[in-house]
Structure 1
Amino acid sequence: MKKRIAVIFLLINSLSIFGQSTIDELRECSLQKFYINDFKGAIECLDKIILINQNDSTAYNNRGLLKEQLKDYHGAIADYSSQIKIDPTFADSYFFRAMANDKIKNLQSAILDYNKTVLYEPKNSDAYYFRGKDKFKLKHNAEALKDYKKALEKRSDNYSVYADIGLIKAQNKNFKLALHYCNQTLKYDKRCDKAYFYKGWILANQKNYYKAIKEFEKILNYNPSLDQEDLYYGNLKQNFKAFKSALLKYNNEQITSKTDSTFYKKGLLNLYLKDYHNSILFFNKALELNPKLAVAYLYRGQAYGKINRSKKSISDYKTYIEIDKK
Structure 2
Amino acid sequence: MSEEFYRRGLEKAQQQDYAGAIAEFNQAIQLNPVFSLAYIKRGLAFYDSGATLQAVDDYTEALKLDPQSVEAYYCRALARLSLKNLPGALEDVEKAIQLNRNYAAAYDLRGMVRRKQGYIQDAIANFKTAAQLYLEQTDKDNCRLCLAKIQQLQPKEQTAIQPVQPTRAPIISINEYFTQLLDRAENGDTTAALKDLDWILQADNQDGQAYCCRGVVKCKIGKYQEAIADFNQALKLNFNHGIVYRNRGKARSQLGDYQGALADLNQALQIQPAESLVYIARGNVYRIMGKYLDAIQDYTQALQIQPDDPSAYYNRGIAYTCLEEMQSAIADYQQAASIYCEQEDWENYQIVFNSLQKIQNSTPEIKNQQFQILRQRILRLVGGHWEIAERLIQQERDEFPGMFEDWYLQRVIDKLERDRN
Pairwise TM-score range, normalised by the shorter structure: 0.5 to 0.7
The residue number in structure 2 matching 1:249 is 369
Following the alignment from structure 2 to structure 1, what is the Cα–Cα distance between the partners of residues 189 and 277? 28
AA in 1 matched with 2:350: Q
Offset of residue 108 of structure 1: 1.8
CA contact (8 A) 1:200 1:213 kept: yes
CA RMSD between the two structures = 3.7
Contact 1:204 1:236 in 2 (8 A): no
Deviations 1:212-233 (A, max 9, x none): 0111112245332453335667
- What whole-Å deviation, never above 9, does each CA across 1:273-298 have from its counterpart, x for those lacking one? xxxxxxxxx9996452585x3xx13x
Aligned-pair CA distance for 1:121: 4.2
Query: Equivalents in 2 of 1:40, 1:89: separation in Å?
Result: 34
The aligned counterpart of 2:195 is: 78
Task: From 244, 267, 274, give the equivalent of 1:127.
Answer: 244
The whole-number CA distance in structure 1 between the counterparts of 2:205 and 2:155 is 27
Superposed CA offset, 1:178-223 (max 9, x none): 2222222222221222221222111111112122011111224533
**How many equivalent residue pairs?**
233
The CA deviation string for residues 24-55 of structure 1, in whole angstroms up to 9 with x for no partner, is xxxxxxxxxxxxx99954x946x73xx33432
> 1:100 maps to what in 2?
217
Distance 1:97 1:58, change over 3 A: farther
Other-structure match for 1:118: 235
Work out which of the residue numbers 385, 390, 395 in structure 2 matches 1:288.
395
Counterpart of 2:351 in structure 1 is 229
- The residue number in structure 2 matching 1:148 is 265
Percent identical pairs in the alignment equals: 16
Q: Is the 8 A contact 2:209 2:239 kept in 1?
A: no
Query: In structure 2, do the counterparts of structure 1 residues 107 and 240 end up closer, same or farther at CA, with 3 Å as the change threshold?
Result: farther
**Residue 55 of structure 1 corresponds to which residue in structure 2?**
166
* 1:68 aligned to which of 173, 185, 190: 185
Q: Secondary structure of the equivalent of 2:166?
A: coil
Q: Secondary structure at the match of 1:227?
A: helix
The residue number in structure 2 matching 1:182 is 299
Contact 1:94/1:114 (CA < 8 Å) preserved in 2? yes
Q: Which amino acid aligns with 1:253?
A: I
Q: Once the 2 structures are TM-superposed, how far is the Cα of residue 81 of structure 1 from its aligned partner?
A: 0.7
> In structure 2, what is the equivalent of residue 322 of structure 1?
none
Alpha-carbon contact 2:246-2:281 (below 8 Å) kept:
no
The secondary structure found in structure 1 opposite 2:374 is coil
Letter in 1 for 2:349: D
Alignment partner, residue 133 of structure 2: none
Structure 2 residues not aligned, in runs of 5+: 1-151, 380-388, 406-421
- How far did 1:88 drift? 0.8
Distance 1:243 1:85, change over 3 A: farther
Give the alignment of 1:303-314 within 5 angstroms. Answer: none
The residue identity in structure 2 corresponding to 1:98 is G
Q: Assess, with a 3 A threshold, how the Cα gap between structure 1 residues 205 and 186 changes in structure 2: closer, same or farther.
A: same
Q: Which TM-score applies when normalising by structure 2?
A: 0.47
CA distance in structure 1 between the partners assigned to 2:301 and 2:237 by the alignment:
31
Aligned to 1:213: 330
CA contact (8 A) 2:248 2:261 kept: yes
CA distance in 2, matches of 1:231, 1:146: 34
- Whether contact under 8 Å (2:360, 2:366) holds in the other structure is no
Structure-2 change in CA distance of 1:85 and 1:143 (3 Å)? same
Q: Give the TM-score, by structure 1 length.
A: 0.59
Q: Deviations over 1:128-158 (max 9, x none)?
A: 1111112112221111111111111111111
Contact 1:39-1:70 within 8 A present in 2 as well? no
Structure 2 CA distance for partners of 1:223 and 1:240, relative to 1, 3 Å: closer
> Counterparts of 1:131 and 1:236 in 2: how far apart (Å)?
34
Q: CA deviation at 1:124?
A: 0.9
Alpha-carbon contact 1:39-1:69 (below 8 Å) kept: no
Q: Does 1:164 align with 2:281?
A: yes
CA distance in 2, matches of 1:150, 1:288: 49
**Gaps in structure 1 of 5+ consecutive residues:** 1-36, 259-281, 304-326
